[in-house]
Structure 1
Amino acid sequence: MLSMHNHNHHNHHHHHIGHSHNHNQHKHHPYSFNSSNVHQRILANVRERKRTQSLNEGFDLLRAIIPTLPSDKLSKIATLRLACRYIRFLVEILEQKDDLPLDVQSLYRLFTIWRLEEEVDKR
């Protein structure tokens, strides 16, 4: 029983050495935490948040323009892919120059049909 106690004490001692060693590593960390670096980091975070917010607003606008199905789960990449397909569809409509209805509701309906046919053709 006594040997177990000494063994635990020995491990406990190493833990303290390891802990102080880690503490010394932090002192020599390449990024010192002076107020200038903290301020720059905060400004960089604010810029990144604004950039992300602007990007998300752009995707929301794009999602509002593209005809979608209730089943669509539009991640950013899915939104871009669907936008590309919608642009291809609109180009085809313009190239046909038939007496196709060009009101928005009709275009949305036609795109949904065109899109579903395209998906069936891929299978």
Structure 2
Amino acid sequence: MASSEAGVRLSINLRERCRMHDLNEALDDLRAVLPYARGGSVRKLSKIATLLLAKNHIIMQAKAIEELRQLVVSLRTQLESKPPASDE
């Protein structure tokens, strides 16, 4: 292998290593904010498990927000349909 080819290969390997470090750091940051059991006896989530848990958590949060939005609309409608209280 020529010297320039070795240099290119080293550069590619370094770039890939940095990319993987960045990816692992981002996944660790994601694990830190996801609701799941942590502790000495619990293994760290795998990359795919972290992504699946994050996806499911986002879906659940979106559903909760939609339910709350519907509740607010319903309560607002009820409030607007009530006759004003008389001041006696």
Matches within 5 A, 1:1-123: 33-70=1-38, 71=42, 73-97=44-68
* Structure 2 Cα separation of the partners of residues 75 and 51 of structure 1: 17
The 3 A distance-change label for structure 1 pair 72 and 93 is farther
* Deviations 1:12-35, CA, capped at 9 Å, x for gaps: xxxxxxxxxxxxxxxxxxxxx111
Aligned CA RMSD, in angstroms, stands at 1.7
Q: Secondary structure at the match of 1:40?
A: helix
Structure 1: gaps (5+ residues) = 1-32, 100-123
Q: TM-score, normalised by structure 1?
A: 0.50
Partner AA of 1:62 in structure 2: L
Task: Name which structure has the greater RCO, CA cutoff 8 Å, separation 6+.
Answer: 2
The 3 A distance-change label for structure 1 pair 72 and 96 is farther
Residue number in structure 2 paired with 1:104 = none
Runs of 4+ in structure 1 deviating by more than 4 angstroms, as ranges, are none
Aligned residues: 67
Instruction: Say which one has the larger Rg.
Output: 1
